[in-house]
Chains A and B, each alone.
Chain A
Amino acid sequence: MKRFLGFVKKEFLHIFRDYRTLFILFGIPAAQILIFGFAVSTDVKNAGVAFLDLSKDETTQKLTDKIISSGFFRRTENLINYNEIEGIFRKGKTKEVIIFEKDFGKKLLSEGKANISIIADGSEPNTATLVTNYTMAIISDFNMEISGMQGKNSLIIQPEVKMFYNPNLKSQHMFVPGVITMILILICALMTSVTITREKEFGTMEVLLVSPLKPIQIILGKVMPYFLLSFINVLLILLLSWLVFGLSVKGSIILLLAESMLYIMLSLSVGILISTVSSTMQQAIFISLVGMMLPTILLSGFIYPVENMPKPYEIVSLAMPPRYFIIIIKNIMIKGTGFQYVWKETLILLSMTILFIGLSVRKFKVRLE
């Protein structure tokens, strides 16, 4: 055990003495969060909105004025019938069409509820989500106002949101889960594969193998510091996204951290596996970047929803560990669901981890022979 601890200490020294490693470990995640966060701006200003007012009464006029005067929206056009909607989206200036049903004001007063449709341009998913959220907020505000004025609490405007072009719109601006998923697999796989191949390349691995340290101790000793640092990284990203963007974890934070540990372990075992098949650091870096980063970004559902992928890609994405972790982390962070909703994904990640570790151990032994 003492042998092992000395070895782990050495690995920490390697990391802390190399400012490049430190930068990759902590600088890149922080930069990613900030870039993704600010690139996906949460500000809406003067978004183009068109109205299709089939009722044209006092209430619809009031609500229209309220929306326009909020400062977030700007009226582009008044439409006369449904056929015009597609045309106006094609022009590109309008991000959202608001439709008041016939006899909106009358229904609201007599039946206590009326329907309003919001159609957004789903080809820009982030903007679409934002403008609809803003509109809904304004409508619910308006709801409270008129309920107060009428002295009744039962007046309800029922907004119904539809997405044009992209009906399965996912909450794209929830970028934090994606960034955590990407960063972890990248850093863990890249760093471990590089640190192990470095020992091979420099010849120190030979010396370690001849020493009384067991192969499993060597691997664990090399991986342990990265496990700890990656875990700190998760905390850092969560803290940063909370402080800068006000995004807090809805579900159990303990469950989230536990799942993160599992995912870190999986990523580290991927790194170990890469190191067993590559003999130089360049090779390891290449395999990690091309083999891990691109599929993670493109096929995991981080940017493009898995449901919208062509069938062959979707099948490929089944083999991508990030895919499952994104589901898990989105569930816990954003929906606030518990373990019973993510146990399947957890099980998949767990079996992948076992598979990768098993493969690496076998490869490692073969190399020794």
Chain B
Amino acid sequence: MDNRVIIVKNLVKKFGNFIANDNLSFEVFKGEIFGFLGANGAGKTTAIRILSGLSSPTSGEVLVAGVDASKKPEAIKKQIGYMCQKFSLYEDLTVKENIMLYGGIYGMTKSLIKERTDDLLEKLNFREYGNKFIADLPLGLRQKLAFSVAVFHEPKIVFLDEPTGGVDPITRRQFWEMIYETAERGITVFVTTHYMDEAEYCDRISIMSEGRIVALDTPENLKKQYGADSVEEVFIKIARPN
């Protein structure tokens, strides 16, 4: 069976005369952690919006979890999870109510939500927090919970848009452990980040500049190719060629 979950061929997105995505082509595989890097304004956000069904491409072919993004963007939404930089849980609802809300939105049955909530709280050592308001939780816990909620309905792909912004290094490490676990379960992780050390944790990374993908490979290969010690050096060499 084909294990490509995202297939993008010659994707172009124009806003008037401005070309936000210029002929993008790439593939992402099942269970892969795919890093999506680029300076601000490089076109990352536009691409993610198209991949998550919020916006449709001007031309080109985009298949996400087997669904054509230009024809049935709504159908994509059921297949994916999403967590953004800004905090995505409701602070005035309890942990359980938040899970119930998102589970319900994704069409899960009450009994299934209950069962998985118990598992989840157990796994995160969260048991005593179940009926606490999100506002009363420390930031690190919230972030982990937000991620767990994003994959709660077992999507095929989860999009993480700068998920670790403003989080301390220890929580970030724990967070990445959760990402690894999720990928091992077969959920594809599509992540954008500004932290170059995080890029090293990805299976493959793509680097965008001015609407184009200028590099796409494993961190190891990229470092070799550009004669750099770290992804950060690679990034600087690509983003500022001179």
**A interface residues with partner B (beta carbon < 8 Å):** 2-3, 5-7, 9-10, 13-14, 17-18, 202-204, 206-214, 368-369
Question: Closest residue of chain B to A218, judged by CB?
Answer: B105
Task: Report whether B107 and A207 are in contact in the complex, using a CB–CB cutoff of 8 Å.
Answer: no
Q: Are A3 and B104 in contact (CB under 8 A)?
A: yes
Asked if B53 is at the interface of the complex by the 8 Å CB criterion, the answer is yes
Other 15 A-B pairs with CB < 8 A, given A203-B84, A204-B90, A206-B84 = A2-B107, A3-B105, A6-B101, A6-B104, A9-B101, A10-B97, A13-B97, A14-B92, A207-B88, A208-B105, A209-B54, A210-B54, A211-B105, A212-B78, A212-B105
B82 CB-CB contact with A under 8 Å: yes
* Chain B count of residues within 8 A CB distance of the other chain: 30
Which of B53, B80, B87, B90 gathers most chain A CB within 10 Å? B90
| 8 Å CB interface, B45-74 against A | 52-55, 74
A203–B86 contact, CB under 8 A? yes
> Which residues on B sit within 8 Å (CB–CB) of A369?
15, 55
Q: Does B85 contact A (CB under 8 A)?
A: yes
30 A-B contacts (beta carbon < 8 Å): A2-B107, A3-B106, A3-B107, A6-B101, A7-B104, A10-B101, A13-B92, A14-B90, A14-B93, A17-B93, A18-B92, A202-B86, A202-B87, A202-B91, A203-B84, A203-B85, A203-B86, A203-B88, A204-B88, A204-B89, A206-B88, A207-B82, A207-B88, A208-B105, A209-B54, A210-B80, A211-B102, A212-B74, A214-B74, A369-B15
CB closest residue in chain B, given A369: B55
| Nearest CB of A to B84, in Å | 5
Interface centre among A7, A13, A214 (most CB of B within 10 A): A13
Compute how far the CA of A18 lies from the CA of B90 in the bound complex, rounded to whole angstroms: 13
B55 & A368 in contact (Cβ 8 Å cutoff): yes
**Complex interface residues of chain B between 96 and 124 (CB less than 8 A to chain A):** 97, 100-102, 104-107
- In whole Å, how far is B110's beta carbon from the nearest beta carbon of chain A? 9
Give B146-174 as 1s and 0s: 1 = Cβ < 8 Å from A's Cβ atoms. 00000000000001000000000000000
The residue in chain B whose Cβ has the minimal distance to the Cβ of A13 is B93
List of A residues within 8 angstroms of B92 by Cβ: 13-14, 17-18
Contact B87 A203 (CB under 8 A): yes
Among A7, A204, A206, chain B packs the most CB atoms within 10 A around the CB of: A206
Which residue of B is nearest A10, CB measured?
A: B101
Closest 6 CB pairs of A and B: A203-B86, A6-B104, A210-B82, A207-B88, A212-B77, A17-B92
Provide the bound-state CA to CA distance between A213 and B107, in Å: 10
Nearest CB in chain A: distance from B136 CB, A: 13
A204 CA / B92 CA spacing, docked (Å): 13
Query: Which residues from B are CB-within-8-Å of A2?
Result: 104, 107
**Closest chain A CB from B35 CB (angstroms):** 20
Q: Which residues of A contact B90 (CB under 8 A)?
A: 10, 14, 204
| Cα(A307)–Cα(B77), bound, Å | 55
Which residues of chain A are near B102, meaning CB under 8 Å? 211
Task: Assess whether B83 is interfacial by the CB under 8 Å rule.
Answer: yes
Contact (Cβ within 8 A) B77 A211: yes
Given A13-B93, A210-B54, A7 and B101 touching (CB < 8 A)? yes
Question: In the complex, which residue of chain A has the Cβ closest to the Cβ of B93?
Answer: A13
Across the two chains, which residue of chain A brings its CB closest to B91?
A: A202
Query: Which of chain A's residues have a CB closer than 8 A to the CB of B159?
Result: 210
A6 to B78, CA, bound (A): 17
List the A residue with the shortest CB-CB distance to B146. Answer: A207
Q: CB-CB < 8 A to B83: which residues of A?
A: 207
The distance from the CB of B55 to the nearest CB of chain A, in whole angstroms, is 6
